Structure 1
Amino acid sequence: MSQPTTSRRTLGLTVAAAACGLLLAGAAQAQQAPLKVGFMLPATGTFAALGDFIEKGFKLHVQEQGGKLGGREIQYFKVDDESDPSKATDNVNKLIKRDQVDVIVGTVHSGVALAMARAARESNTLLIVPNAGADAITGAQCAKNIFRSSFSNWQPGYAAGVVAAGKGYKRAMTITWNYAAGQETVKGFTEAFEKGGGKVAKELTLPFPNVEFQALLTEIAAQKPDVVFAFFAGGGAVKFVKDYDAAGLKKTVPLVASGFLTDGTLEAQGASAQGILSTLHYADNIDTPRNNAFRKSFALTYKANADVYAVQGYDAAQMLAAGLNAVKGDFSKRDAMLEAMNKAVIDSPRGKFSLSPQRNPVQDIFLREAKGTNNELRGVAVKALADPGRGCRG
């Protein structure tokens, strides 16, 4: 009688062990499930090339880590943001509700990004903004789950104002699209320029993405300011620079710009862009081992030269990796992960940067000059510039 009892006991232990093994294996598999990253970037329209390089930069860092961040495989989902704020909530909800992504990376257009930030706050979805500089994202609409790997609109505008005032210009005009990015960048310029003793005589605007500049250029020619500050990007920046030159203004009224005017656009702008001074948190020829290695890796991978958009995408992945590494890939440890992201020092191609309490980069803003197809470094316009984060209570 004892033998069958022992056999049954042994069989029971074997079955229990096997069941336990299956449970452990299942738990391990669940733990290693791919992390869902949703890209909401422009795939069409004037900002399409910018969105493409942000995505390429992000994926390059993941590729350099063996295809994983914090030990987790990455699964990508994509939605074209259409650069249309009126469609932004519906588009971002495709990622949040339909695809149930863990992280959203986007976008370029500030108006679209503001709607994305609202949706991220309401759903508590982690959002990393790899471009859009809308001040409110890390200002009045800040939240602990919203980070930025790029800049606030205020930062390059403020630095340009410092440069213009430092050159002794007293009377300025500004020109931009009439939308959040343009308005806030101009505010930054005006704040620094007038603090430095200058005066902005007139702010010129046109609707986004209108590129009919002629009437405004005629007004600049008639007013004859000491300097013009401009903010445009993408295809609009190409046409503005060419039209400014064609109107004869390049020879008579110096142009100082937010760096997006000439970033990723110099080849298309050609001779018209040469000599333009701009301020931004990146320059093509930052001669450091980190930047040189990044540019070589990007060129080998994509057969293209990296720009600021690629850097911002790359650093968005670095920020996410900092959080995931701290919790060994366990995305359920959200508080610890977000705290690690906020405290991280990012070893960026632009130079190392930390994050402000509002989760916006505290970074050097460089003075660059357009030369050939590069925005060449001419110095640091403002060292370790932190956005004031006005209105942030998160």
Structure 2
Amino acid sequence: MRTRRALCASIPLIAAAAALGLAAGSAAAQGAPKLKVGLMLPYTGTYAALGTAIENGFRLHLAEQGGKLGGREVELFKVDDESDPAKATDNVNKLVKRDQVDVLVGTVHSGVAMAMAKVAKETGTLLVVPNAGADAVTGPFCSPNIVRSSFSNWQPAYAMGEVVANRGHKKAVTITWKYAAGDESVKGFKEAFEKNGGQVVKELNLPFPNVEFQALLTEIAASKPDAVYTFFAGAGAVKFVKDYAAAGLKKTIPLYGPGFLTDGTLEAQGADADGLITTMHYGDSLNTPRDNAFRLAYAKAYKLQPDVYAVQGYDAAQILGIGLTAVKGDVAKKAEFAAAVQKARIDSPRGAFTISKAGNPVQDIYLRQVSAKENKVIGVASKALADPARGCKAS
């Protein structure tokens, strides 16, 4: 499928507060220029639906704030990153150098996010990562101007390693795409699983975004493990779950993974996903006042039910607003921005969380099971789990 070229049209958001005649914030009153926010997300390809959900969540919180963050009206610029690390540096520079954005928000693919983090660190541009879990973003690349609203690849994987071991499984096979997110997810799972007495007997992978799974499924069947741990997302997750069931493996070898396996994919996976166990920092049945209000607002705005990607986009805007309010909209005050964010308690639909010194959420990881096309929360796999932030000098 031919992908679209970069989307670069700027999209001004009209402040609802202004439409209602309410008083403008102090920064706006002083004639502060619009805050330029660059959204670098996948709008085509395997992760297109994820990019749209992140943008929707971001826009929802922005609308709730009257179109302003830190007292400044927001103008959005968009670039389709195509989930292609080879194009990442050029794409991010379209936003930083051409459009001269004040803030970067992106992305989904860990390889692309690493390129964004490198540019953000070199230029001092504020970067909020609304999905990509690349451990290095809040590890060796940690910086006061980089913060994540999502997770590290280690977090849900480590939590699942403990779950699988505690369920009595002794031998596991892992399968994923061969790229940063997959490698780090398997590493996190393996760390916890083997620490708790399990053994990963085989690590299988294939190039991103290849979805020809049959040969590897045959290898899994021949290995006869107690369990399989997998990392796939988007369209790849749909095909893997369906192929796993079609191969007859679902009936004999339990399949586990982080929530990306079933988030935003359940409709397409159908009955093949029923009963799957995943770990994630969000679920469909939290039933808290905060989450219920968010879900209602999202459904009204977009005629869709939100998923974890929408929550991460929403919280990216929340975090940005908290930091910018503390520095009165002055994006140059990176250290003060970081300090304010790290002191905050983020009132998220997922449940309240904090931000570590490395810039990563310290959050509950839920245990979920697919039932009636929902990722229903059935427990907490790990309470207030903090990423170890290995390599981060600030942590």
TM-score computed with the length of structure 2 as normaliser: 0.91
For residues 241 and 52 of structure 1, the distance between their equivalents in structure 2, rounded to whole angstroms, comes to 23
Give the percent of matched residue pairs that are identical in Structure 1 and Structure 2.
69
Work out the CA distance in 1 between the residues paired with 2:146 and 2:336. Answer: 15
1:161 match:
161
Query: Displacement of 1:28 after TM fit?
Result: 6.5
In the TM superposition, residue 356 of structure 1 has moved relative to its aligned partner by: 1.1
Give yes or no for contact 2:28–2:71 (8 Å, CA) kept in 1. no
Report what 1:355 is aligned to.
355
Distance 1:33 1:227 in 2: 55
Partner of 2:19: none
* Aligned-residue offset at 1:107: 0.2
Counterpart CA distance in 1 for 2:134 and 2:31 is 36
Q: Considering only aligned residues, what root-mean-square deviation do their CA atoms show, in Å?
A: 1.1
Looking at structure 1, the residues matched to 333 and 131 of structure 2 have their Cα atoms a distance apart, in angstroms, of 27
Q: Contact 2:145–2:334 (CA<8 Å) still a contact in 1?
A: no
Task: Tell whether the 8 Å contact from 2:106 to 2:127 is kept in structure 1 after alignment.
Answer: yes
Q: Which residue is 1:345 aligned to?
A: 345
Q: Comparing 359-368 with 337-346, which one deviates more in the overlay? A: 337-346
CA–CA distance in 2 between the matches of 1:276 and 1:339? 39
Aligned residues: 368
Distance 1:46 1:28, change over 3 A: closer
Asked if 1 retains the 8 angstrom alpha-carbon contact of 2:57 and 2:310, the reply is yes
Residues 31 and 330, structure 1, Cα contact 8 Å, conserved in 2 = no
Q: Measure how far apart 1:344 and its partner are.
A: 1.5
Classify 1:304/1:58 alpha carbon distance in 2 versus 1 (closer, same or farther; 3 Å). same
Give, in angstroms, the shift of residue 31 of structure 1.
4.0
- 1:193 partner letter: F
Do 1:158 and 1:188's aligned partners in 2 also have CA atoms closer than 8 Å? yes
The answer to whether the 8 A contact 2:126-2:334 is kept is no
Counterpart residue number, 2:373? 373
Matched, 1:34 2:34: yes
- The answer to whether 1:117 aligns with 2:117 is yes
SS at match of 2:331: coil
Shift, 1:150, TM fit: 0.2
User: How many Å separate the matches in 2 of 1:339 and 1:214?
Assistant: 49
How much has 1:333 moved relative to structure 2?
3.6
Instruction: Give, in whole Å, the separation in 1 of the partners of 2:29 and 2:168.
Output: 64
Change (3 A) 1:367 1:28: closer
Deviations 1:8-58 (A, max 9, x none): xxxxxxxxxxxxxxxxxxx97764321000000001100000000000000
Q: Structure 2: which 5+ residue stretches go unaligned?
A: 1-26
Distance 1:341 1:301 in 2: 28
Residue 179 of structure 1 pairs with residue 142 of structure 2 = no
1:134 aligns with 2:134: yes
CA offsets 1:341-360 (integer angstroms, 9 cap, x no match): 22221000000000111010
CA distance in 2, matches of 1:155, 1:28: 39
The residue type paired with residue 328 of structure 1 is K
Q: Secondary structure at 2:348's aligned position in 1?
A: coil
- Aligned residue number for residue 210 of structure 2: 210
* Structure-1 residue corresponding to 2:67: 67
For structure 1, the 5+ residue unaligned runs are: 1-26
Q: What pairs up with 1:86-125 in 2 under 5 angstroms?
A: 86-125=86-125
Whole-angstrom distance in 2 between the partners of 1:292 and 1:47: 26
Query: Contact (CA 8 Å) 1:135, 1:184: kept in 2 or not?
Result: yes
In 2, the alpha carbon distance for the partners of 1:124 and 1:84 equals: 23
The separation in 1 between residues aligned to 2:28 and 2:288, in whole angstroms, is: 41
Distance in 2 between the 1:79 and 1:356 partners? 29
TM superposition score normalised by structure 1: 0.92
Specify the structure having the higher radius of gyration (Cα): 1
Letter in 2 for 1:40: M
Asked if the contact 1:228–1:254 (Cα under 8 Å) also holds between the matched residues in 2, the reply is: yes
Please name the residue that 1:389 is paired with: 389
Give the aligned partner of residue 226 of structure 2: 226
Could you say what secondary structure the match of 2:209 adopts? coil
**Structure 1 letter corresponding to 2:238:** V
1:132-165 per-position Cα deviation (integer Å, ceiling 9, x unaligned): 0000000011111110000000001101101100
> By how many angstroms is 1:65 displaced?
1.0
User: Which secondary structure state, in structure 1, belongs to the residue aligned with residue 377 of structure 2?
Assistant: strand
Structure with the higher helix share, 1 or 2: 1
